[in-house]
Amino acid sequence: MKAFVFPGQGAQFVGMGKDLYESSALAKELFEKANDILGYRITDIMFNGTDEDLRQTKVTQPAVFLHSVISALCMGDDFKPEMTAGHSLGEFSALVAAGALNFEDGLKLVYARAMAMQKACEATPSTMAAILGLADEKVEEICAAIEGEVCVP
């Protein structure tokens, strides 16, 4: 069984997708279409921007989506998974890669999501952390020592 799992926010890096853009006519076409849909040249930030620019949620999410989806689409006949899945933002990439959602609509949804999350982050600055392999008691101790609001699911 072949499955593809697409990443969420945090998988971004400066230069992502540049090799595809330069080596594949399909990738170049899709990246240029994305620039048009978004109304700015996200490729400039993805390929040559700064880490700081790329870390903005409103940029990060469309960038990770584009890199993931365009990478999958450029695989052509080699991309024949029996299932796709995604972590958080990666769920949108999985839907497009599986053909359940088209590229344009997927990008528009991701951009709307990114803008809403950017606005929320600006209104209430916050961060998120995943803690693995630490005893519950230690996590509770750390949370108790943090100034401000802590939300534990």
In the chain, what are the domains?
3-126 (3.40.366.10)
Cα angle 9, 11, 12; round to 5: 90
Q: Answer for the pair 97, 67: CB distance below 8 angstroms, yes or no.
A: no
Residue predicted with more confidence, 136 or 149: 136
Q: What is the mean pLDDT of the chain?
A: 93
Helices (H), ranges, 18-135: 18-23, 25-38, 42-48, 51-54, 57-74, 90-97, 103-123
What would the pLDDT profile of 30-83 be if each residue is shown by its tens digit? 999 999 999 999 999 999 999 999 999 999 999 999 999 999 999 988 888 899
Q: Answer for the pair 94, 84: CB distance below 8 angstroms, yes or no.
A: yes
